[in-house]
């Protein structure tokens, strides 16, 4: 595992590289990931795939049974900023966000899009929307369809009760689909007639978003970050 320049931030879309200067190897890929979490300060209990991998006999995450040789982990340990691993259910209280059952791809995109709304100054004006990702959510039948953004194929089932909700198909949907759908009040799924508007908007918003991410990274890493 190459952990020389780890991609923190909104990787792989908008990475903020950090220097970890480490290379690791193991015959057990699950144990390798478990130690990598320790190296960059990610709580292994929050990594869903570990449970499945262990159950499937692909490797171990039991720290007691993993031997680390070579440099002391503490010497290379660097806390990495991974904003989409924080609790995203309560992160945008101005919106009603449902994300039970969302896998890491939709979690990352949900975070990226909600933060993009903030970055471009469109967060507050859209704040009573209901955003849904993942396949284990229950929605109120009384929520008006025009308030609901269904992000990803896992949310298709809600169309039965809310046939006119905005459905962003894809597994996962396109990178900026959610925030652009919020802006346009239309499901922006990359149809040919939407493409020119999407391209223009992405180009216009990219510098603002990059600068927002860099400021957030600076807050996290403090002035010590290179």
| Structure token digits, residue 196 | 């020119």
Helix ranges (H only) for the chain are 29-40, 48-55, 73-76, 104-119, 177-184, 195-221
Q: Name 114's Cβ contacts closer than 8 Å, sequence gap at least 6.
A: 91, 92, 95, 97, 123, 131, 178, 179
Nearer to ligand SF4, 48 or 186 (CB): 48
The least CB distance from residue 154 to ligand SF4, in Å, is 3
Question: Which residue among 22, 37, 102, 183 contacts ligand SF4 (CB under 6 A)?
Answer: 102
With CB under 6 A as the contact rule, which of the stretches 45-53, 103-111, 140-148, 218-226 interacts with ligand SF4? 103-111
Task: Determine if 159 is a binding residue for ligand SF4 (CB under 6 A).
Answer: no
Task: Determine if 172 is a binding residue for ligand SF4 (CB under 6 A).
Answer: yes
Q: How many residues bind ligand SF4 (CB under 6 A)?
A: 11
170's torsion region: left (phi>0), alpha (psi -120 to 50) or beta?
left
Contact (CB, 8 A) for 70 and 51:
no
Nearer to ligand SF4, 20 or 131 (CB): 131
Nearer to ligand SF4, 15 or 170 (CB): 170
Q: Which helix (H) or strand (E) holds 2?
A: strand 2-10
Nearer to ligand SF4, 105 or 143 (CB): 105
Nearer to ligand SF4, 136 or 215 (CB): 136
Convert residues 108-147 into a mask of x (bound to ligand SF4 by CB under 6 A) and - (unbound): -------------------------xx-------------
C-beta nearest to ligand SF4: residue: 152
End-to-end CA, the chain: 23
CB-based burial, 176-213: b 16+ in 10 Å, e otherwise: bbbbbbbbeeebbbeeeebeeebeebeeebeeebeebb
Phi, psi of 113 (to 5 degrees): -70, -40
Return the DSSP state at 126: G
The least CB distance from residue 110 to ligand SF4, in Å, is 9
The least CB distance from residue 76 to ligand SF4, in Å, is 32
Helix (H, G, I), strand (E, B) or coil at 10: strand
The least CB distance from residue 31 to ligand SF4, in Å, is 25
Question: Which residues make up the interface to ligand SF4 (CB under 6 A)?
Answer: 102-103, 105-106, 133-134, 152-154, 171-172
């Amino acid at each position: 595992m190459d952990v020389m320049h780890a991609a923190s931030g909104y990787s792989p879309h908008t990475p903020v590289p950090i220097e970890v200067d480490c290379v690791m190897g193991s015959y057990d890929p699950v144990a390798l990931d478990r130690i990598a979490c320790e190296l960059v300060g990610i709580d292994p209990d929050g990594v869903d795939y570990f449970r499945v991998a262990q159950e499937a006999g692909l490797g171990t995450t039991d720290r007691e049974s993993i031997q680390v040789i070579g440099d002391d982990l503490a010497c290379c340990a660097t806390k990495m900023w991974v904003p989409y691993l924080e609790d995203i259910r309560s992160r945008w209280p101005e919106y009603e966000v449902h994300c039970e059952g969302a896998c890491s791809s939709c979690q990352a995109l949900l975070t990226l899009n909600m933060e993009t709304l903030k970055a471009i100054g469109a967060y507050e004006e859209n704040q009573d929307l209901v955003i849904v990702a993942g396949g284990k959510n229950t929605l109120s039948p009384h929520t008006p369809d025009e308030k609901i953004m269904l992000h990803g194929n896992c949310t298709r089932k809600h169309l039965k009760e809310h046939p006119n909700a905005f459905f962003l198909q894809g597994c996962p949907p396109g990178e900026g689909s959610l925030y652009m759908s919020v802006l346009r009040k239309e499901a922006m799924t990359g149809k040919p007639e939407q493409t020119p508007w999407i391209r223009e908007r992405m180009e216009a918003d990219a510098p603002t978003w990059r600068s927002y991410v860099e400021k957030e990274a600076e807050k996290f890493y403090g002035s010590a970050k290179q």
